[in-house]
Amino acid sequence: MTPQPGFQWIQILYALATLFVVLNYGLLMTALVQKIAARVSGRHGIPIWQNYVDLVKNFALRSQISHGVMYYMGPIFRLSGGIGLLLFVPTIYGLPWAQNFSFAGDLILALYFVFFGTLGMALGAGESGHPHSAIGVSRGLSQTTAAELPLALAVYAIAVQYHTLNIPQIVAAQQGGIAHWTLITNPLATIAAMFAYVGTMMRAPFDVVLAPQEIPIGPPTEYHSAYMALMQTNRAIFPVAKTVVYMNLFFGGASNWLEFALKVFALYLIPAIIGVVHPRFRVEQSIRFFLKWGLPVGVLAILVV
């Protein structure tokens, strides 16, 4: 394996540019998906720019409260987790300025950095002292343990398949048409990973973590104004960043921004579509679901690769 190229200062500007593109894309795309979901139920749905408005509104709130230091840190962790995940993974294959900070680490870094935001958020929510926050965290973590498992197995399977953990190399191996995508060359791993993907996107049937009618909104119950705005920003960036990882690993990556936009949108639509037609699982139900269906596929994937 060749040593990675080092760091140059210009990369910071490049990273900011990527961030800007992804942020806007995320804000619009999530609104669009919400609009689609509204149309499914016969509504008109939110305006496409609604996310921007909400963001501005939340930033513009005049009063704030604070529960303590970790409470401050929570949203910072959360957003840093999202941005970091985005920036540790090259966004566009072959586009030099969209390689971000991938010199720092490989796929494993991305895999484990996902937890960074979760951890910080959970801690921040914890310091608010609200029992619903704690309940939401308890549910979220419990569900994640089972949901992330198929992904870990799938990652192992494709790392063995491509004999690398380096994301650009994995994408490179998938170039040359849809037949080279992991989706086709290793369908088991892809299916296993999609279990994890659907399971961690916080949409029905796996959204008991937020459960707005039951434990107001789970971990972020106490968050508002600018804190909330940071988390909203993360809600725009993080799913996209995560989808980018999946896209790179299983769906041939993206070699230009258009392909990126289409693929991310298509992938993002999967949990959205599943979500609008399914009721909610309880936590133990979703854990059992992943252990019963996700795990065997993952195990098969690592056995046959």
Partner 1 sequence: MKDIDERFQKNRDRTVPLREELRPRTVTTPDGQEILIEPLKDYFCEAAPKVHPKAYFQIVENFYNWARANSLWILGFGTGCGAIEMRPLMTPRFDAYRYGVQWRPTPRQANLLIISGYLSVKTLKRAIRAYEQMQGPKYVIGLGSCTINGGMYWDSYNTIKRLDAYLPVDLYIAGCMPRPEALLAGFMELKKLIRAGKAEGANKYAENFATYKAAQKSVIKDWDMPDYNW
Partner 2 sequence: MVSALWILALGLGGAFGLGLVPRGRGDLAFALMLGALGAMLLVALGWLAVMAGGAAPVLITTAAAPAPFAISLHIGLPEAVLVTTVLIAGALGALALRGALLRLGRGAMAVLLVLMMALSGLILTRDIFNLFVFFELISIATAGLVLLSPDPRALAAGFKYLVIGQIVSILLLIGIVFTYHANGALGLDHIAATAPGVAGAGLAMFLLLIALVVELKPFPANGWALDIYESAHPGFSALFSAGSGTAAVFALAKVAAVAGPAWAPLLTGLGLLSFLGAGLLALRQTNDRRLLGYSSVGQLGLVLAVIGQGDVLGEATAFIAGGILLAHAAAKAGLFWLSALVPGRGLGDWAALRRRPILVLAFASFIAMLIGLPPFPGFYAKWELAQALVAHGRMPVLGSVLFGSLLEAAFLFRWFGRAMKAESAEVPSANPIDTAIVLAALAAGWGLGALWGALSGLSNVLTTIPVLFALAFVALEPLPARIKNVIAILGLVGWFVLRLPDYDPLRLIFAIVMLPGGAVILLASFTEGGRRLGFYPPAMLMYAGMALLLDAVTTFQFFAAWELLTLGSYFLILRGQRSEPHAQSYILFSLGGAFALLAGFALAGQGALDLRLDALSDIPVTIAPWVFVLLALGFMTKTAAMGLHIWLPGAHAEAETDVSPMVSGVLLKAGLYGIVILLSELGRQRLMGVDLVNMLAWIGALSAFIGAVLAVFQEDAKRLLAYSSISQMGYALFGLALFSHLGWLLALMFVINHYLYKSMLFLAVGGVYRRTHTKLMYQMGGLITLMPFSFFSVLIGIVAMSGVPPLSGFGGRWIFYNAILGTDLRLPLVMIFLAGPVGFLYLFRLIHTIFLGQLKDPHRQIKEAPFWMLVPQMIYVALLIGFAVLPGMILRRVDTYLGTVFGDHPLIWTGRAVSSEFGHWNPVGIMLVIIGIFVSVGAILLAKVHGAQKVKQFNIVFSAERPYRPETTHFAWNFFAPYRRAVGFLEAPVATRFWGGIGDALTAGAELTRRLYTGNGQLYATQVVLFVLVAWAIIFGGQS
Query: For residues 159 and 272, which CB has a smaller minimum distance to partner 2 in the complex?
Result: 159
Q: Which does 28 bind (CB under 5 to 8 A by kind): partner 1, partner 2, none?
A: none
Find tokens 């796929």 and name the residue.
107
Q: Taking the complex as a whole, how short is the minimal distance between the CB of residue 188 and partner 1, in angstroms?
A: 40
Q: Are 31 and 51 in contact (CB under 8 A)?
A: yes
How long is the chain? 305
Q: Omega before 296 cis (within 30°)? A: no
52 binds partner 2 (CB under 8 A): no
Quick one: which of 240, 266, 271 has its CA closest to 82? 240
Find tokens 């996310």 and name the residue.
51
Distance (Å, whole) CA 239 – CA 119: 17
40 binds partner 1 (CB under 8 A): no
Residue type, 192: A
Three-state DSSP class for residue 68: coil
Q: Are 74 and 129 in contact (CB under 8 A)?
A: no
242 binds partner 2 (CB under 8 A): no
Sign for the pseudo-dihedral over CA of 191, 111, 198, 152: positive
Per CB under 8 A, the list member of 90, 222, 264, 275 interacting with partner 1 is 222
Q: Taking the complex as a whole, how short is the minimal distance between the CB of residue 28 and partner 1, in angstroms?
A: 16
Q: Which of residues 175-234 bind partner 2 (CB under 8 A)?
A: 216, 221-222, 225-227, 229-230
Q: Are 286 and 147 in contact (CB under 8 A)?
A: yes
Residues touching partner 1, count (CB under 8 A)? 31
Query: For residues 62 and 279, which CB has a smaller minimum distance to partner 1 in the complex?
Result: 62
Q: Which of residues 3-22 bind partner 2 (CB under 8 A)?
A: 3-4, 7, 12
What mask, x for binding partner 1 by CB under 8 A, covers residues 170 to 209? ----------------------------------------
276 binds partner 1 (CB under 8 A): no
Three-state DSSP class for residue 17: helix
Query: For residues 208 and 247, which CB has a smaller minimum distance to partner 1 in the complex?
Result: 208
Binding site for partner 1 (CB under 8 A): 38, 41-47, 50, 53-54, 56-58, 60-65, 212-213, 216-217, 220-225, 228
